């Protein structure tokens, strides 16, 4: 599948897979600002045209576990109609930034999704789990 991508910044890096079989492509920071809540906002300098019926999902890299930072929205969602710059926002429990300009700051996975139609009902079918919520499976 080919996906159109546009460089918005001269230092932007066109994403590629690091290894054969990888699901996500690495995204690099070309600029970083602080937002009003003191989160680090990393700009990739890239805009993409995700095909209809697909979604772009932004994930932190596994190396984030070595820091006190987290991706603020846990998983970013890029809808097929969005044409703006891809950005990732991080919060840290320390005053230190977790990434610098030039670093790989996240991963992008593009995947298909179903269009669902909700049908209101008075009853749902039973299941082994039932209405058990958080922690109900024992862990």
* Domain contains 133: no
Total domains in the chain come to: 1
pLDDT at 22: 93
* Domain contains 20: yes
pLDDT (tens place) for every residue of the chain, 139 residues total: 999 999 999 999 999 998 999 999 999 999 999 999 888 899 999 999 999 999 999 998 877 777 777 788 889 999 999 999 999 998 877 666 778 899 999 999 999 999 999 999 999 998 877 777 776 666 5
**Both ends of the chain: CA-CA distance in Å?**
39
* Domain contains 126: no
Structural domain of 18:
4-112
CB burial readout 9-41, b (16+ within 10 A) else e: eeebbebeeeeeeeebbbbbbbebeeeeeeebe
**What does the alpha-carbon distance between residue 117 and residue 44 come to, in Å, rounded to a whole number?**
35
The pair phi, psi for residue 65, each rounded to 5°, is -65, -15
CATH number for the domain harbouring residue 101 = 2.70.40.10
């Amino acid at each position: 599948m080919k996906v159109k991508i546009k460089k918005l910044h001269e230092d932007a890096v066109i994403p590629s897979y690091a290894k054969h079989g990888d699901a996500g492509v690495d995204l690099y920071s070309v600029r970083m600002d602080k937002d009003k809540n003191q989160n680090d906002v990393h700009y990739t300098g890239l805009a993409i045209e995700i095909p209809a019926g697909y979604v772009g999902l932004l994930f932190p890299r596994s190396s984030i576990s070595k820091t006190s930072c987290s991706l603020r929205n846990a998983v970013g969602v890029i809808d097929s109609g969005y044409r703006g710059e891809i950005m990732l926002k991080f919060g840290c429990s320390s005053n230190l930034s977790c990434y610098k300009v030039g670093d790989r700051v996240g991963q992008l996975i593009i995947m298909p999704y179903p269009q669902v139609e909700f049908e209101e009902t008075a009853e749902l079918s039973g299941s082994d789990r039932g209405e058990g919520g958080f922690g109900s499976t024992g862990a």
